Amino acid sequence: MTPAARAVALSVVFTETVPTALNGQKIYETRREIFNLSEERSKILRAGAKMTLSLRQDVEQFARRLEREAQDARFEYAPISGEWRLVMRGAVKVDLDATLAAVESALRDPATRRVNVVYSTIRPARTLDFFLQKGITSLLGEGSTSYAGSSKARMANIHLGTRNFQDVLLDKNAFSFNQMVGPVSAARGYLPGLVIAGERTASGVGGGICQVSTTVFRALYAAGLPVRERQNHSYQVHYYDPQGLDATIYQPNLDLKFDNDTGASLWFQATWDDRTARLNIQVFGRPRLETVEVGAPRVLATQAVPPERLITDPSLAPGRRVQVDWAAPGATIEVQRVFRRGGEVVRSEVLRSVYRPWPNIYLVGPQGAGTAER
């Protein structure tokens, strides 16, 4: 074989254009995957000038790795740049017969270095234009809370409630948490869990739903939306640290409401991770003219923890003692929200939360309660 005809290594190359958008501007990125045959293997295969079983299997395996179902456009976070961008991925279907034929043809030409994968694509149902035409281009706000220490039932309720904010559009001028979530009931899959009811924490269907409402509140508050209705919990709950940025709901009486003053639709995305016990909810939309700054909670006053409370529970064995509530001091906490334009403050607001002091509460068996409930 002359130097000019010397066999070269062969590569099977897949190249795809991925439509994305950053701050409302479309950008086309390139995805490239390569299956390289070594120079020695290429030489042996070219000598035979035909497809072998092992090569066929390798190409088939490579093709399977490339294929995927269509993925609707949604926002994705890029850790390197620290930016949220819209990404749309169509379905990829490799034409295996055509690709194998192209590889076999390349084996007969010692000078061929590259074979392109033959494939087709199908656009997803939700494209970039779905967002861009509605003015949804940027992250407005994000809420994050920890549910570490939650029971399995509480986590199940958190998952169920959060699904109402996974890739969900709000095409209205007003936001209502209860309308977004719908009835919190056993019929819809919610489990019994601990809820604040009057003077104590008790078992009730949907315990943990306030983890979701609090996380949503933080996202919309950071987005700068005007608050129409919000009530903090009766007492400080450790799940909602830092305090002063929680929101309780209790259907049908208590709701969480905001006005959507952005002039465009809102888009919610949500994720949770039970390994880290972290819930995150993002809201996207049309950027505000102002930047929004949410300050750290400021404690204005505190009240001491009251004495423990014992409640007789006939279902418990005599003398048995079960803690159902944990002490928390009372507090008045304020959070300031500042709106700036061109670096200048255009307005500011104060969110005030008042928490009652809360005792340790125990259920005790009849003989262990001593006197009546106190």
Is pLDDT at 199 greater than 90 in this prediction? Answer: no
Amino acid 323: pLDDT: 87
Whether the per-residue pLDDT at 369 is higher than 70: the answer is no
Cβ atoms of 177 and 168 within 8 Å: the answer is no
What is the share, in percent, of the chain residues with pLDDT greater than 90?
84
What is the pLDDT confidence band of residue 4, given thresholds at 50, 70 and 90?
A: very low
- Of the two residues 180 and 81, the one the predictor is more confident about is 180
pLDDT at 205: 87
Kindly report, residue by residue over 331-366, the tens digit of the pLDDT.
999 999 999 999 999 999 999 999 999 999 898 999
Question: The pTM is what?
Answer: 0.87
Tens of pLDDT, residues 171-192: 999 999 999 999 999 999 999 8
Which pLDDT score is estimated for 50?
87
Residue 373 has pLDDT above 50, yes or no: no
In this predicted structure, what is the pLDDT of residue 49?
87
213-234 pLDDT, tens digit per residue, is 999 999 999 999 999 999 999 9
Lowest mean pLDDT among 189-193, 248-252, 267-271: 189-193
Average pLDDT over residues 107-126: 95
Mean pLDDT, rounded, of the chain: 93
The boundaries of every CATH 3.10.20 domain in the chain are 3-132
Is domain 3-132 annotated with CATH 3.10.20?
Answer: yes
Q: What is the mean pLDDT of residues 24-47?
A: 95
pLDDT for 320 equals 93
